[in-house]
Structure 1
Amino acid sequence: MSATTAIGPIVIPAPSTGITTLPVLDLITGRARTGAYGPDPATLRIALAFSTVQAVRHPGRTRGYRNEVLSLRLGAAVGSCAVEPGELPAATVTDCVGATVGELLDHPGTAVRVAALDAYLGHCRPHAPAYGARRFGLPAGSSLVKSRVRAAAVVGLLPLAAVRRVLVVGVVNSLLEQLRSHGVDYRACDLKGGTTEWDEPVHTDALAHLDDCDAILASGMTLGNGSLDPLLAHARATGKPLVLFAQTGSSVLPQLLGDGVTAVSAEPFPFFWLDGGPTVIHLYGGAGR
């Protein structure tokens, strides 16, 4: 579940101040520091940090994938950021424990900054109807069963009747399967390249295909690798639907609703692939809302 090629900051419009060159991570971090969401991040400490490593290949599918996720706990909230397997320095988890959120928002590692901001926003703005969230239950079952149910909910956030082709950034075969079932074309993009389960090419440069698509479906991992910014700028400039499916930054990305992002499927820890019992995702915005 990688995302598209990362590029440097570009000019993106802020909701209230016109034009800024801040990447979205810095933009939302700045709002957090000025009290837009709740208490000063410098007053809150991370008591627990952990990493999760996963490998999977669903029965009946020929390809699998691996994930590694850094997670930080703040009260009842867990903030997470996926990284490429093996990229996370061994000392990171230990270094985060006991640090303030404010300190971690200045950490040199992007994954730490994302996870800290995600934990902070999950603590200050939990997924709840008061903040626009709709609970969607995933049933007990295998990882593949849960993946397919989740995929149906995520794809349902797109205005499918008005969509000709979707740019999918971060390949998840269950999502592609759902788009195929609706007769919707797509361009699959992922840093790893390769092919989909249906032997279609997976492109490594998502930006090259933006103009060929009239909607964008992107993984939250784009927040962690910096590649969300050009997707967001394109959606803002063109009005194209931008739907995000997020385990990484699941509490961060809903803050962009109405500011280029049309819908978010937010899935905080524990993720569907960790628990065979019923779990929950939280849906924001979407077609007809």
Structure 2
Amino acid sequence: MTAAPHALAPCLDTLLGQALAGELGPDPTTRRIAVAFTTSQAVRHDGRSGGYRNEVLSLRLDRAVGSCATEPGALPPGTVEDCAGAEVAGLLQHPVLPVRVAALDAYLMDVAPHTPAHGAQPVTVPAGSSLERSRARAAAVTDLLDVEPGGAVLVVGVVNSLLAELRSRGIKGIPCDLKGGTTEWGEPIGTDALAEIGRCDAVLASGMTLGNGTFDPLRRSAQEHGKPLVMFAQTGSAVLPRFLGAGVAAVCAEPYPFFWLDGGPGTIHHYRADDGGTS
């Protein structure tokens, strides 16, 4: 697959500034968000002892939907109303980081959709139950790792299906999440990803790191330690490919609608730095 070359993004704030200045596409003062909405979910799969909750802010810009996940209740009251009809330029400077991320995601997805021309390789997530689709997505994400059996992967943003998939391939998962707690198998979940990077062969991290401000420190630390960083992204699926070759080795991009919203087949998108990334 051949893709157009892309300019490396040194950090999220720089990318936001480039978008605001119109360096990545149309003048954002001329673009407005048509629809803003949140999706709040609670999950407890059959056969699993635990569950989880999250909330996703999504912004519709023309044909594109940009998203950023947050902790439930974290968005200030009135956020959705503030975003609907707002100029993209204003939202790129919004005081709430998840709003800035969702706006940037929508803007970049409108500029460079997930297509082969922009470096994306489509991967089908088959129809099935929520757990079946979660496992299929986990397998597709794990395929982007270049780690042999017996190796170790730091998983930032714990997803039990990802940990199970790593186990099935003979790879040790080192779970880390700001919420802490324990995994499905009773393993303690660390809360300081930067302290764990030295123990792993690669890092697998959620796009939620964009929305909580931990992405850039994690990316820099992975670079400093020489650890390949693979991102799985419902949050910022169009943002993270901009960091390919700048500390990010690969991205599994999953734009809205996400696999857990229905039981039909869906498409996620693989990006690899050695494929040329995104234009």
Same fold, judged at TM 0.5 (above): yes
1:99 aligns with 2:86: yes
Judged with a 3 Å threshold, the aligned counterparts in structure 2 of structure 1 residues 163 and 126 are, in CA distance, closer, same or farther, namely farther
- Counterpart of 2:106 in structure 1 is 119
Correspondence for 1:143 among 126, 130, 143 = 130
Identity of aligned residues (%): 64
- Is the Cα contact below 8 Å between 2:248 and 2:273 reproduced in 1? no
- Please tell me the root mean square deviation across aligned C-alpha atoms, in Å: 1.8
Deviations 1:140-161 (A, max 9, x none): 1111000000000101100022
Judged with a 3 Å threshold, the aligned counterparts in structure 2 of structure 1 residues 262 and 210 are, in CA distance, closer, same or farther, namely same
Correspondence for 2:28 among 29, 32, 41 = 41
Give the alignment of 1:54-203 within 5 angstroms. Answer: 54-161=41-148, 164-203=151-190
Correspondence for 1:32 among 19, 26, 29 = 19
Instruction: Specify the SS of the correspondent of 1:71.
Output: strand
- Is the Cα contact below 8 Å between 1:164 and 1:214 reproduced in 2? yes
Structure 1: runs of 5+ lacking an equivalent: 1-13
1:52 aligns with 2:67: no
- Is the Cα contact below 8 Å between 1:46 and 1:97 reproduced in 2? yes
Instruction: Specify the SS of the correspondent of 1:62.
Output: coil
CA distance in 2: counterparts of 1:286 and 1:146, whole angstroms: 26
The aligned amino acid for 1:67 is N
The aligned amino acid for 1:190 is D
Aligned length: 270
Bigger Cα displacement from structure 2, 228-237 vs 84-93: 228-237
Correspondence for 2:234 among 220, 244, 247 = 247
- Is the Cα contact below 8 Å between 1:79 and 1:269 reproduced in 2? yes
Structure 2: runs of 5+ lacking an equivalent: 1-6
Deviations 1:107-143 (A, max 9, x none): 1111110000000001001000011001111111111
User: Could you tell me how far 1:90 is from its partner in structure 2?
Assistant: 2.4
CA distance in 2: counterparts of 1:240 and 1:203, whole angstroms: 18
- Counterpart of 2:193 in structure 1 is 206
- Counterpart of 2:3 in structure 1 is none
Instruction: Specify the SS of the correspondent of 1:282.
Output: strand
The aligned amino acid for 1:280 is T
The aligned amino acid for 2:65 is V
Judged with a 3 Å threshold, the aligned counterparts in structure 2 of structure 1 residues 131 and 15 are, in CA distance, closer, same or farther, namely closer
Judged with a 3 Å threshold, the aligned counterparts in structure 2 of structure 1 residues 85 and 53 are, in CA distance, closer, same or farther, namely same
